[in-house]
Amino acid sequence: MPDDAQDNDGRRSRAVPSGRMTRLFGLGSLATGIAGNMLADGARNLAQGRRPRLGDLMLTPANAHRVADKLAHMRGAAMKVGQWLSMDAGDLLPPEVGSILERLRADATAMPMSQVVHVLEANWGEGWRHRFKQFSFTPVAAASIGQVHFGVTADGQRVAVKIQYPGVRQSIDSDIDNVATLCRMSGLIPRTVDFAPLLQQAKAQLREEADYLHEAAALRRYRGLLADSADYALPEVHDRLTTENVLTMTRMDGVPVESLVHAPQAERDRIMTLLIALFFREMFAFRFIQTDPNFANYRYDTQTGRLILLDFGATRDYPIEMVALYRQILEGAMQRDPAAIAPAAIALGYFDESTSLGHRDAVTGMFIDACEPMRLAGPYDFGTSDLAARLRDAALALGMERDFWHTPAADVLLLHRKVAGLYLLAARLGARVDVAKAAAGR
């Protein structure tokens, strides 16, 4: 199959560029293409008697299309950064540009069959096909780091096989640095946006996500923690077919959680109650949190009513000292007491003694707002609330102020992303959740 082709089902596939120089040249060609678009658009505007601003020439749908297509082809850290930028800075971009970059949150372009075979032979040996009764070379999902295939093992087990794209692990740092440079030079991200913490976070998280043995260990541990919880279902690792680059698990069917927008209200409420209750258990009981808020990590078994949990590459331990500080913040926010929040916020690095009172108030105010659902006696209606938008807008406004640019620890940033993801999913499902009761485990 050539580098740019179609699988048997008509799905487009392109080989993942795995060499460092190939990936660097790919980003270089992207920059050249953006510059060419700018020159052409500039000449067209001048011919029509208009004098365009440089930013208007950079932030165009044509350039956004070019960026989205190139990053979806490269996959790996390059695509992951694009996904995160589209999530975190999308509201600061022109709407037509932001909508194009949202493509990066959908499936990536799949690897061609020849590249899949090469990866599997390198990890399982040339006779690997004898281990399967059936193996589908058409992926059921393709993301930034790898893609998932279904199969049936020789002993009849239905499995899901996550195959990492070649070269992803080796290119993480260089990909992220190159994309950051490209974004700054091209103007696709406004210069007023400080996304350096996001990039550092991406490097650290991707190094862990790209180690499938690490993910397998996290999955086994998480299964043990939820062994007494019949409401949740997790895959089981198939050890003999798992390596650093290939993760094989029992196949878990079900429907995407975000597709349940028209399910009965009680069912949507129950799903979000399970997710929010699980977060509080992760935070205060396990101190072991799956920090990736991607909706695709949750599926729902409509036959059994069990919530299916997937993808544990971004699962992290939280020190008991950090958890105690968050408990202090939570208690202060419940009482709407900024003075009670401030010491823990300083210890966690949200601000320091030199931070202006206005910026301190902005941060503590966000904590107080975030606990709004917990202060309500009874179910909180996320579907009619603008809480997620208010928190997002407050964070963006604070991030735009240069004299407050600050970088909390990666664990802090990841926790924010998890909570924001839960709130957004609850809003999308229009769920009504008694958050205080869920937090108490009742």
3-state helix, strand, coil in the chain (%, to 5): 55, 15, 30
Contact 381, 387 (CB under 8 A): no
The reported pLDDT for the residue numbered 355 is: 81
The reported pLDDT for the residue numbered 110 is: 74
Contact 279, 418 (CB under 8 A): yes
Q: What are phi and psi of 317, to 5 degrees?
A: -80, 145
Contact 98, 227 (CB under 8 A): no
The reported pLDDT for the residue numbered 269 is: 98
The reported pLDDT for the residue numbered 207 is: 83
The structure's pTM equals 0.77
Which residues in the chain show pLDDT less than 70?
A: 1-109, 179, 181-195, 197-198, 396, 399-408, 442
Rounded CA gap, 228 and 235, in Å? 15
pLDDT by residue (tens digit) across 211-225? 999 999 999 999 999
Determine whether 292 is an active site residue: yes
Please tell me which residue in 88, 175, 211, 292 is annotated as part of the active site. 292
Residue with tokens 């949740």: 232
Neighbours of 91 (CB within 10 A): 12
Residue 44: exposure state from Cβ atoms within 10 A (0-12, 13-18, ≥19):
exposed
Neighbours of 196 (CB within 10 A): 11
Beta bridge mates, 158: 152
The reported pLDDT for the residue numbered 173 is: 78
Rounded CA gap, 440 and 149, in Å? 39
The reported pLDDT for the residue numbered 89 is: 42
CA dist 266 to 277, 301, 305, 308, 386, Å? 16, 15, 12, 18, 21
| CA angle (410 as vertex; 409, 412 as ends), nearest 5 | 70
Domain ranges of the chain: 4-106+171-194, 113-164+211-233, 253-442
The reported pLDDT for the residue numbered 265 is: 97
The reported pLDDT for the residue numbered 49 is: 46
The reported pLDDT for the residue numbered 28 is: 46
